[in-house]
Amino acid sequence: MIIIASHNGAIGIADAVRTLNSGGSAMDAVEIGIRAVEADPDDHSVGYNGYPNILGELELDASIMDGRTLNSGAVALMRGYPYAISVARQVLERKLPHVLLAGEGAERFAREIDAERWDDMLTDEIREVWRRRLAASGSSGDTPELAADTSLLDWVKLATDPERVAGTVNFIAIDGAGDIASGVSTSGWAWKYPGRIGDSPIIGAGNYADNRYGACACTGMGEMAIRASTSRSLALYLQMGMTLREAGRRAMSDLRDLGGDYIGGMNLIALDRDGEHVGLSSEAGRTYIYQHADMAEYESVEREVVEIPARWARIVRE
């Protein structure tokens, strides 16, 4: 039994391991671990008190995948419900004939299942950071005015500036039955265009688990993981017979083929069905954590670097 997580999962990994040790499933462990991060007011990239979109609204994305069946549940652009991972899991558990609910539909579903709702999802401190960021870019920070009269197209660059804060939490678990589950939750890019959905709720992009091979979850520029199907690619490379490390390096290297202006950083964690794990990043110095069920504490591991050059590229047919 093992849990691996992105470094910001540290706050939830003990609960996740306890869940496995008391007979809980990999799905339970992933949900419990991620909930702790979603509730943490000091993590501004996940759940409650994340950095909002350009209009100052917090829109959450999350997904969970069950490696036993490849069943998945996901929500996107959900407002007002901090535990996005739990709502995502219910999309799966309640046997909706759907995988992904977004926006008002996700909120309606959350209400119908009595998911915990918080009236205020942002602290004044974070609202102030958002206001200052808009002001520094020439706005008065008056949201209604920005929403009604301003072409948000002119503001999109805010979401890609180097000062933007992003982040996501990844959890992957193998339980006592050898079953694998993976979960991802995020508030997405700070100051994103309203309605923007990242890779986290997209099965195959930011999240994938298959008992037969392994699982993968991503953080970083979601647009890239969507375009390259990064998590599913890694699982497929395992299926083709590559080692975990080879599969991870290959999935990261695929991102180099992407053309366009917004080539940025990408990070993934992955494990195979034997519990071997790996963390990769396009930047040096990034870490991830893991804890076997019999370890008293988690260990932190430096991720291996696979560089993704920031350049404009075009695919040329040979």
Asked if 264 touches ligand ASP (CB under 6 A), the answer is no
Is 168 a catalytic site residue?
yes
Please tell me which residue in 168, 186, 219, 230 is annotated as part of the active site.
168
Choosing from 67, 198, 214, 279, the residue that interacts with ligand ASP (CB under 6 A) is: 198
Tell the smallest beta-carbon distance from residue 141 to ligand ASP (Å): 24
**Which of the stretches 76-84, 129-137, 194-202, 297-305 binds ligand ASP when contact is defined by CB under 6 A?**
194-202
Distance (Å, whole) CA 191 – CA 213: 37
Choosing from 9, 56, 188, 214, the residue that interacts with ligand ASP (CB under 6 A) is: 188
**Which of the stretches 86-94, 183-191, 242-250, 297-305 binds ligand ASP when contact is defined by CB under 6 A?**
183-191
Choosing from 66, 107, 199, 210, the residue that interacts with ligand ASP (CB under 6 A) is: 199
Distance (Å, whole) CA 61 – CA 119: 18
How many positions of this chain bind ligand ASP (CB under 6 A)? 14
**Which of the stretches 25-33, 71-79, 195-203, 248-256 binds ligand ASP when contact is defined by CB under 6 A?**
195-203
Distance (Å, whole) CA 41 – CA 37: 9
Asked if 200 touches ligand ASP (CB under 6 A), the answer is yes
Site string for ligand ASP, 207-246 (x = CB under 6 A): ------------xxxx------------------------
- Nearer to ligand ASP (CB atom), residue 50 or residue 67: 50
Tell the smallest beta-carbon distance from residue 283 to ligand ASP (Å): 12
- Nearer to ligand ASP (CB atom), residue 214 or residue 222: 222
The tokens describing 289, both together, are 């954590």
Tell the smallest beta-carbon distance from residue 8 to ligand ASP (Å): 10
User: Binding to ligand ASP (CB under 6 A): which residues in 138-177?
Assistant: 166-168
Binding residues for ligand ASP, rule: CB under 6 A, are: 166-168, 186, 188-189, 198-200, 206, 219-222
Which residues are designated catalytic? Answer: 168
